[in-house]
Every structure is written in C-alpha cells, then in structure tokens.
Structure 1
C-alpha cells in the first residue's frame, strides 16, 4: 500500500497567510480502516516535522514500516477496526505534497527559492480541502504529535463545529525562544552550505553537508541526556577519528545525519522549521484567548516531563491558556527516557492516553 495523490485548488488558488497563492496543489494521503455508514468515525492524523502520509506500512511489502507502525492496527491505540484514519503529507513537504522541490507550473522548474512562505494555518486549510474532497462531513478527532499537535489545535480553532476531539502529544501552543534558537542554528547550517545557492540547487549538488549537520542538532533535541548516556555513555570507537566520530554518540549522530539525506529535502526542512517557529494560534484573531475560546472539541494534552524540545514549563503555560479559554481539557504528564520522541516509540505509556483521547 502506497500513498494516494490528488490535485486540489485547480480552479481557485489557495491564498496563503503571509501573502502569495498556490494553485494546482498535489496532496499525498493515505487512509486506514473503514469509514462507517454514517461517516462518524473519521480521524485525521497530523504528522510531525519530517513525517509523511504513511504512519503504517504493510510489512508484507518488505518495507521498513511507517513512523507510527507499532501504534496502528486492529485493537491497538490507533484502532483500525474502530476508526477510519486519514493522514496527508503537509504543504511544503517533500513526500508527495507540493513543496519547494515540486515543479512550478509557471516555470516548469522546481519552485526552489520561489516557493512561498507556509504556515500551520495554510497546512490545515489544505487538509480541510482534502477532507472535503473525500466527502467526509465531520471528524471524530484530529490527533498529532509535536508539529502535528499544532496542526490539531489549529483544526479545532478554524473548524470548531467540524471536530469532536483533539489529541495533542508533546506540543505547546507556541514554540519557545530556546527552541527557535535551535532551529535558527539548523537553518544557518543549511543556508551557509556552499551548495545551497539561495535554495535553487536542484540542477546541481544539494546542500548535503548543511542538511546533515542540521539533522544532527535536531536529533539532540528529540532524545534525553539520560537515554544517550544509557545507549552510548563515553564509549569510543575502535578506529575513531580524533576530530570526527571518536565517541560512539558522535558516530550515531553522523549516521542519523547521513540517513536523513536520503529522505528529506533541505528547502522543505527550512520552510517547515520556520512554520514551527512562527505558529501562533492568535494569528488572524485579536488575541490567543479569542482564538482558543473557539474550540468546542474535547482536548487531550500530553506532556513528557523531560522533553528537551517542548519543555514542561511551556506545556504548563499551554494548559493554563486552554483552561482560561474554557476548553474542556484532559492533561497528562510523565517522564520518558525517549524525551520528545516518546510519542513515536513509547507505546505502553502513550497507548492509554491516546485511546482515552479518541473515545
């Protein structure tokens, strides 16, 4: 099973929050489970920063599995015997939905530096167009982790009568100054790569060194010092290089950086990192309370106490803002060695929270 694709906004373009328009937008998406007769069991999955439209892959196809492989299936947290799941690749991505590497119909060349600025709000409006295209009149729930949690929140703000439940895993309502700082360093690594060429590198060599360095820094924010200590400690390599992969943890990061090159585009990484930074539920409203007060969905917020990217203090602030806005809220917090990545791998801890949030 591979992602399906549809072209939307063929008649009128999508007006973007920061100006500009996009038309003829390709959207890659996948569905799992069966839509019931009254179409009341549809659940939208919003993926994290570098995810895609396929949280689950059939292992019979000799594939490595999807990014939520262990969470999805009959009787699991994402129960395909009960719900009809839809997941689409985000606008600006590089996994089948229109992004910087896509062909600009006006030039017949990749968009590159001409790709417009995209926001979480734009991503959600494109998702809504997909849901309408699929003739789904209502969503039982929207669920997402990290960047996907921001999308889930925006769904409840934009379409309060369309969504019954929101499940936000490991994501605050806005990104912290420290987290924006991490993203800035990652972007600078890419932009200052000699091959970047202002984003117009598709006919030459891509900025692989910059992108791999950016990914290495990102990986350090996704896990915890405890998990890295348990996995690597201060172990060294048998044939390590003094200025390179001398310690095992360095080798691990280098491997992750190189692995990333085969599956992600540098321009998409830049655009989505900035969309993560800029997200603010109050955009288009007088203030954040007005925006959050629109939410009618039951909201589940899950925090990992030792998350090094979305810090606990920011989740507490988000909880308070949601409560002050009168949002019906269930809040959970707990530690995990996996830190921010826990929502992708720590099934036993997250399973009851996800199941409760969907029921």
Structure 2
C-alpha cells in the first residue's frame, strides 16, 4: 500500500543561517497510484509525526486510504520525512541551523528530483501546515490547492512563547522528552477536553488524579520512541514559521499564487487559534478570491485535526472527491 523508496540525496544544501550540508538525505513514502499517473497530494507531518501517513501504522489513515476522503484509488500520496525527525538515522546536530522555510526548500528540491512540477494539493496539520504555507510562498505555482489545518503562515507570540518554554524544558530537564511532552499536551488539548475526559477522577492504583497518570503515560510513551535531537529540531521549526521574514510582505507573496487556499481552523485550538486563522482569511480575501475558511467544532483543541475525521471528511469532500478532478 505504502512504500518507502530509497532516499533522495540533496547535495550542498545551505540553510538560511548558513549551515552547509554536503549530502542531505530526504526520505519519503509513496502510496496510492503510481507516480505521474494521477494527481499528487503532498502530505506534511506534524511535530512527532513522520512520512507514514496511511496504511496500518499511518497516523492519518482514517483520512487517507482506499475509499477514504483522500482516496488512494484516485490519487498518488507523497509524504516526506522532515530530515532529522527521528524516523531515520540522519540526525541534525544543531537544531538552530534550521527554520520552517529551510524544510520547505528541501521539500521543493525533493519534488524537482522526483520530476514533479505541480501538485494537486499540499495538506498538513500544525507545523506541517506551516511548512505548506512556506512552500507556497517560495513556489507560488507548485500546487492547485493549499490546505493548512490547525496551522497558520506565522508563529504568533503565544506560540513562540510555548516553543521557548519547550526549549527550556528540553535543555534543562533531567527527563526532557517526558517533561516537554507533558507541557505540550496542555497546548494540544483544551480545558474542556480534559474536563470531559477525566471529571477530576482518581487513579485508584496510583492514588493520583487520572489526568496526572494520563500525562505521565504520554510522556513515557514519547520518550520510548523519540529522540531529544528530533524534538528540539521540530520545536525550532514550529517557532520559525513566518513566510514574510526577511522577504516580501504577505500580499506580495501570496498574490503571486493562483492556488485555492482552504484554511481549516479548530474552534478550541489554543495553539493556532481560530481567531488568527480568521484574520488570515480576511487578509487574503482583500486581494484573492479563491480563499476559503472552515472550522472543526470540537472540545479537543489543537489535536482535533487528528481526532475529528468525520468533520474533516465533510470539510475536505469538495476538494478531494473524484468528480471535482479536472478530466
């Protein structure tokens, strides 16, 4: 169903900060229809994700697969691993070398090497959506549809503050991955989500609150499968999303693109707030017609993009159902 060809090797890549990588491996997966035989959907993973987007272990397999919203019988599904995300042996020694824009540049290089001139859609949640925005700003004609979910074109002060705290924990804690994950879960969910799930109940075996044992469990679980260098890198990418940094203004950048932009917010998202998403939509509408805003209604906060598949199916149906593909 999903296969992992040999990695693309990107030669002599120089990051925005001037770090030089003579040989940068870019791992990817392909699923669905053979490459160049069908419309291609590029899927960008989030902070602890990877390129396994569909199939048995796919983190978005409720959304992507045979007969699903993004149908593998209709589309070619392409996903890249962010180099250094912990899914391969490649490690980024200094996470401060990279920005979200660097990763977008790497992905664009990967598309060129695969002889892909145009995508049907780029879709991503959270930092994956931020990298999608950066990609469109760098290559305005790369895709027909941009679909950032629970994301935005820039990191806000609130988001940067949380990333700063994450970095402090990752640098200073005796259990950095566990403790950073515990803090992050407070940003990924919402007060209402915790109330609905736990109701201030006690774990009778441990004699602590169930919310505490749940958070500790999530911390331990991530620690078992994740690397400190990867967490630092992905947190740095989340902090550095900004398509306008050291470049043109928002309107100049995005008026160059004919792509339809479908912003999907979450009404309870504490991380990339619905208010920020709506402001982005209003700004875009001033100079671009084919911009759309829709919202997931959920108590679950930021993580709703991984939970509310029925709503996502409904919101994405108009883009991905077969009859909308230009024959």
Same fold (TM over 0.5): yes
For 1:1-359, list aligned pairs within 5 A: 3-10=4-11, 13-35=12-34, 39=37, 41-58=39-56, 65-96=57-88, 98-100=90-92, 112-113=93-94, 117-193=97-173, 209-240=175-206, 246-326=208-288, 328-358=290-320, 359=324
Report the alpha carbon displacement of residue 40 of structure 1 after superposing the two structures with TM.
Answer: 5.0
TM-score, reference length from structure 1 = 0.84
Taking the aligned partners of 1:225 and 1:69, their CA distance within structure 2 comes to: 27
Report the alpha carbon displacement of residue 14 of structure 1 after superposing the two structures with TM.
Answer: 1.0
Number of aligned positions between the proteins: 320
Uncovered stretches (5+) of structure 1, i.e. residues with no partner: 59-64, 101-111, 195-208
Uncovered stretches (5+) of structure 2, i.e. residues with no partner: none
Taking the aligned partners of 2:34 and 2:309, their CA distance within structure 1 comes to: 25
Report the alpha carbon displacement of residue 350 of structure 1 after superposing the two structures with TM.
Answer: 0.6
1:305–1:312 contact (8 Å) kept in structure 2: yes
Taking the aligned partners of 2:3 and 2:220, their CA distance within structure 1 comes to: 25
Q: Structure 1, residues 39-70: CA drift from partner, whole Å, max 9, x if none? A: 45011101111110101233xxxxxx221021
Taking the aligned partners of 2:278 and 2:314, their CA distance within structure 1 comes to: 21
TM-score, reference length from structure 2 = 0.91
1:89–1:97 contact (8 Å) kept in structure 2: no
Report the alpha carbon displacement of residue 284 of structure 1 after superposing the two structures with TM.
Answer: 4.1
Report the alpha carbon displacement of residue 83 of structure 1 after superposing the two structures with TM.
Answer: 0.6
Report the alpha carbon displacement of residue 36 of structure 1 after superposing the two structures with TM.
Answer: 6.9
1:167–1:357 contact (8 Å) kept in structure 2: no
CA RMSD of aligned residues (A): 1.9
Higher deviation after alignment, 225-234 or 317-326: 317-326
Report the alpha carbon displacement of residue 124 of structure 1 after superposing the two structures with TM.
Answer: 1.3
1:35–1:42 contact (8 Å) kept in structure 2: no
Taking the aligned partners of 2:166 and 2:234, their CA distance within structure 1 comes to: 12
